[in-house]
Amino acid sequence: MKGISSLYNMAWFIAAPGLLPLFLLVTRVAGKKYMGIGERLTLFLPGDSHGPSTMWLHAISVGELNALLPVARAIRNLEPSHPLVITTQTTAGMETARRSFPFAHAILYAPLDHPWSVKRFIRRFRPSVLLVMETGYWPNMLIQARLQGAMTILAQARMSERSFQRWRRFPAIFRWVFNFFHCITVEDLPTRDRFVAAGADKDRFRILPNTKFDNLETVSEDERSLLRKKLGLEPYDPVLVAGSTHPGEERELAVAYKIIREKYPKAILILAPRRLERLEEVRREIVGLHLPVCNWTDLHAGSRVDGVVIIDTMGELARLYAIATVAFVGNSLFPPGGGHSLLEPAVQGVQVTHGPCVENVAGNARQLGLLGASTMVRGYSDVVDHMKKTLESPEESRASVRRAMNWIETQRGASSALAEILLEGLQSRKSAL
């Protein structure tokens, strides 16, 4: 496999002279999205390091950081002296990491995968463990960590049928990437079997539930009442919450809401686009449908909301799911999609809807569907039908979401198990020094 590594790094050395000007240009054009160039190039790193007790924990963006948080907390509970270095790749991820990991030794943008940058990063922090949460792994990240003697772990690895078919065309590259990991955790046997069929070593795999189960909190009745009060809602006013929506989905949900509103005039729609930079685009879509619209930050407590509320801040969605009659989870209606967390609304005792493109959360979609707590929709008419069914059959709906909440409780504990794997790996690496 040295030949593939050599070709990969040769490509970097050829491309590198043009990359810095390109990064600077992108930073100028895209603004915050590509901040942290100095950290990505490892030109600016903290001056201190802690050597063999350090753990490097990498999560590409917000969703992966949410999965990482309970693991980091479990490590802190078991061994509070070990320094944790958190890296991410997006601006939204950086904002989330700084807010959620105050106990970390360092929070940085991940180094660009040029061998020079990654070597500088590794030499500064000298980690004994590298954990990559779900995705965002890069060859030099793994190569240099292994050369450092670190244990490398991929947690909650995903492989949809579509990804499996792509990887099967390049078996040598697949084995080259995934055999850098000492341990890979997956959520179910079908996922493990796809990895193995594509060429991964079966002995590297452990099956663990999703760590996001450990990060789920049910919003209290008092907080639900306060949220409804802020929106000026009565206890049983219908609420459709559409979370983490992507282009095209907002229009489908707004059309569905417009139809629902004819029968239930007190109903409201809460829209939370995945990317805040799309707020104006989404607002224009709603106005074009002749629906009243306002931003979450413009609300005055107690004033009755009429129409559509667009969430224009980070961190509100998980709480707002708690007041939904029905929730829709985005990045799922149109390909390529993939889906976002179905668990966040489900833990609040809410009926969940999602589109057909949920490869990233297929196991949860399947289980919640079997329990009657989630429904696949293909467009606005399906959303309307499910909203009406939920409102007209409340007892049936409540029974199914109770089953889902009970199932969620049985899935907790993966974060502690993963933390123990990490600590065992760290101890074995320290003993080898």
Query: What's the confidence (pLDDT) of residue 429?
Result: 75
84 CB-near residues (< 8 Å, 6+ apart): 54, 55, 57, 72, 75, 76, 101, 103, 104, 105
Instruction: Kindly provide the residue ranges of all beta strands, DSSP E only, lying in 357-407, ordered along the sequence.
Output: 374-376
Residue 218 token pair: 């049910």
Query: What's the confidence (pLDDT) of residue 13?
Result: 72
Is 302 in a helix, a strand, or coil? coil
State the CB neighbour count (10 A cutoff) for residue 77: 11
- Supply φ then ψ for residue 293, to 5 degrees: -145, 145
Query: What's the confidence (pLDDT) of residue 92?
Result: 86
What amino acid occupies position 427?
Q
- What parts of the chain have a pLDDT lower than 70? 1-2, 9, 12, 15-20, 22-35, 47-51, 301-302, 430, 432-433
Query: What's the confidence (pLDDT) of residue 302?
Result: 67
Query: What's the confidence (pLDDT) of residue 425?
Result: 87
**DSSP code, position 67:** H
Residue 92 token pair: 């939204």
DSSP β-ladder status, 129-133 and 55-58: parallel
Task: Convert the pLDDT of each residue in 223-276 to its tens digit.
Answer: 999 999 999 999 899 999 999 999 999 999 999 999 999 999 999 999 999 999
Query: What's the confidence (pLDDT) of residue 86?
Result: 97
Q: Are 379 and 385 in contact (CB under 8 A)?
A: no
Q: Are 60 and 87 in contact (CB under 8 A)?
A: no
Query: What's the confidence (pLDDT) of residue 304?
Result: 85
pTM for the whole structure = 0.86
Give the chain's domains with CATH numbers.
Answer: 27-156+413-432 (3.40.50.11720), 221-407 (3.40.50.2000)
Residue 19 token pair: 């990359």
Query: What's the confidence (pLDDT) of residue 26?
Result: 63
DSSP β-ladder status, 351-354 and 326-329: parallel
| CB-based burial, 200-231: b 16+ in 10 Å, e otherwise | beeebbeebbbbbbbbbeebeeeebeebbebb
Is 107 in a helix, a strand, or coil? strand
Q: How far apart are CA 299 and CA 294, in angstroms?
A: 8
Query: What's the confidence (pLDDT) of residue 72?
Result: 98
State the CB neighbour count (10 A cutoff) for residue 152: 23
Residue 222 token pair: 């008092």
Query: What's the confidence (pLDDT) of residue 84?
Result: 96
Q: What is the mean pLDDT of the chain?
A: 91
Query: What's the confidence (pLDDT) of residue 48?
Result: 65
Residue 309 token pair: 């509320």
Query: What's the confidence (pLDDT) of residue 279?
Result: 96
